Structure 1
Amino acid sequence: MSTLVKFSEERLLKVLLAPVISEKATMVAEKHEQVVFRVTQDATKPEIKAAVEMLFKVQVESVQVANRQGKQKRSGRFVGRRNHTKRAFVCLKPGQEINFTEEA
């Protein structure tokens, strides 16, 4: 847990925005023992790892991030765009698990 020393606790609390609950995220969780989170745009892999370890008291093996472009939407003649999002796929060490129903 030496990664916790590098970052302030205040910053780590702001890195994770929400867990992603979708069909794909559920399949990834069951097959590869990964958990998917929405994170802030400027979050780095070490910050995400430290935040998950601090908040959920688990050990993280690796982190992969994916930037998702916002969909272009139209309302009449006006064209707009949804916000871009960043997702983190957090791979937990064997035997570790995050149960969101207990945390709430």
Structure 2
Amino acid sequence: MRAGLIKMVTIKDFKTIIKPIITEKSSMGSEYNQVTFQVQKTSSKKEIKLAIENIFKVKVKKVNTSIVKGKLKSFRGSLGKRSDYKKAFVTLEDGQTIDINAGV
């Protein structure tokens, strides 16, 4: 991408990022300029970085990912398993912020 070139937000960007994860542990990451998102299991770190930069118009420093295994839960006497999902820890450049609570 050349300097000054504005990249349009695509549908793929919105499909890559499922939702922000708002927990006590993820909110402690804001001290280190980190934001946590649930993303598609098939998304790569480069795809996640481009999606965050296009949607929120911020510069991403790095992306760390992990697969969270679903828990076993019982429902009306039968055992079931929650789905596995991928979690992305996005570190932003200094001076960049994302307001997760903006539309709430």
TM bucket (normalised to shorter chain) is 0.7 to 0.9
The whole-number CA distance in structure 2 between the counterparts of 1:101 and 1:62 is 22
Secondary structure of 2:88's counterpart equals: strand
Tell me, yes or no, if structure 1 residue 61 matches structure 2 residue 25. Answer: no
The whole-number CA distance in structure 1 between the counterparts of 2:101 and 2:73 is 34
List aligned pairs for 1:77-96, cutoff 5 A. 77-96=77-96
The whole-number CA distance in structure 2 between the counterparts of 1:14 and 1:64 is 19
Q: Structure 2: where are the runs of 5+ without partners? A: none
Secondary structure of 2:54's counterpart equals: helix
Deviation at 1:75, TM superposition (A): 2.9
* Equivalent residue, structure 2, for 1:12: 13
Deviation at 1:55, TM superposition (A): 0.5
* Equivalent residue, structure 1, for 2:46: 46
TM-score normalised according to structure 1 size: 0.85
* Equivalent residue, structure 1, for 2:73: 73
Deviation at 1:12, TM superposition (A): 1.4
TM-score normalised according to structure 2 size: 0.85
The size of the alignment, in residue pairs, is 99
The whole-number CA distance in structure 2 between the counterparts of 1:15 and 1:9 is 10
Deviation at 1:74, TM superposition (A): 1.6
Q: Compute the RMSD of aligned alpha carbons.
A: 2.0
* Equivalent residue, structure 1, for 2:29: 28
Q: Structure 1: where are the runs of 5+ without partners? A: none
